[in-house]
Structure 1
Amino acid sequence: MERTLKVYVYKEGQKPIFHQALLKGIYASEGWFMKLMESNRRFVVRDPRKAHMFYMPFSSRFLEFALYVPNSHNRRNLKQYLKDYVNLIAAKHPFWNRTGGADHFLAACHDWAPYETRHAMERCIRALCNADLRGGFWLGKDVSLPETYVRSSRNPLRDLGGKPADQRPILAFFAGNMHGAMKSTALEWLNQSSMSVFR
């Protein structure tokens, strides 16, 4: 029995969409995941035949930066770009084809990532910051990746954590649109509790 998980990181794909990590801001979770995975010497193997899993190192944020036409409301080209990438991987390596991508994984934090990866990468394990079931998150297969706002790429842990719990006057904070069943359910629960809810 193997004692250490072995991961192969695909070399295919060009910057900025592949192999380039955004290490600051709200999408930094996917960037730090990529940076730490690609530099890992304990789990990452050079020979893909020795791997148990396969990492597809792309940035959903850089995919949007590079390919989305502002105000077009059309993301089909982003989805097609990832499909072309999967086809390249499948043509060059036998690993995708033997499982249909079920032993492949990715990390993506942009809100559009569930849509962009839903078809070409549907069998992959997706670590997504957007865990909205209606948006394409699959319970039992996908993993929720915490979205963490990183203010400094040189010191990513700076300003994380905050005050101890007994010194916090606010239990929870949410800003954004009310989309997704979980947000509506949480708001209903909060309205029925003795907590103050501000909109």
Structure 2
Amino acid sequence: MERKFKIFVYPHNTSSCRTLDDEYGNEGLFYLNLNQSRFLTKDPEKAHLFLIPISCHSLPAGRSEDERAIAVEDFVKSLISRYPYWNRTLGADHFFVTCADISVTATTRITNLVKNSIKVMCAPSYNDEYVPHKDVSLPQRVPPLALTPAGNDITNR
């Protein structure tokens, strides 16, 4: 299964994906690692899972939370209407990565996205509609010890 397993990422503007050095850098690392893995496919017909790049579509921070949530909602709905893959399973073979509150706010507006799709979350909580038997926790990115104020001093970490 591992040799044949493939993930299709819906088209998105790669320049708007989160960077590796901001507070949500693990989202950027997730996309970077996926793009360099053997699991990525450009052919959606060969895919077992479909990644909805919600984080890559978020608007600049200068917009209100509601405006950003509406933009994410519109983006996801446009993918659902443009591509036939969502309708095969009502999104059960789709997933999205979210480490930001804006994605949680936006995704709750799309009923089948929260209900059926797999949510990969940083620091999940049950308040964010995290479903333990379906959703996945993405470990937080931790800087090396030498870069923290405590360094290698175990007692002061």
- The answer to whether the superposition gives a TM-score over 0.5 is yes
TM-score, normalised relative to structure 1: 0.64
Q: CA RMSD in A?
A: 2.9
73, 87, 98: which one pairs with 1:108? 98
Extract unaligned runs of 5+ from structure 2.
none
Counterpart position of 2:18: 21
- Tell me if structure 1 keeps the 8 A contact 2:54–2:72: no
Q: Indicate the structure with greater helix content.
A: 2
- Tell me if structure 2 keeps the 8 A contact 1:21–1:30: yes
Greater Cα radius of gyration, structure 1 or 2? 1
Identity of aligned residues (%): 32
- Tell me if structure 1 keeps the 8 A contact 2:58–2:72: no
- Matched residues in 1 for 2:39 and 2:98: separation? 20
Counterpart position of 1:168: 154
Counterpart position of 1:48: 44
Kindly provide the CA deviation profile for residues 103-156 of structure 1, in whole angstroms up to 9, marking residues without a partner as x.
Answer: 111112113432222232212211111311112222211111122255xxxxx8
Q: Indicate the structure with greater strand content.
A: 2
Give the letter aligned to residue 65 of structure 1: P
Extract unaligned runs of 5+ from structure 1.
70-74, 151-155, 172-199
Counterpart position of 1:196: none
TM-score, normalised relative to structure 2: 0.78
Give the paired residue count: 152
For the pair 1:143 / 2:139, whether they are aligned, the reply is no
Residues 54-69 of structure 1: matches in 2 within 5 Å? 54-59=50-55, 63=58, 65-66=60-61, 68-69=63-64
- Tell me if structure 1 keeps the 8 A contact 2:52–2:76: no
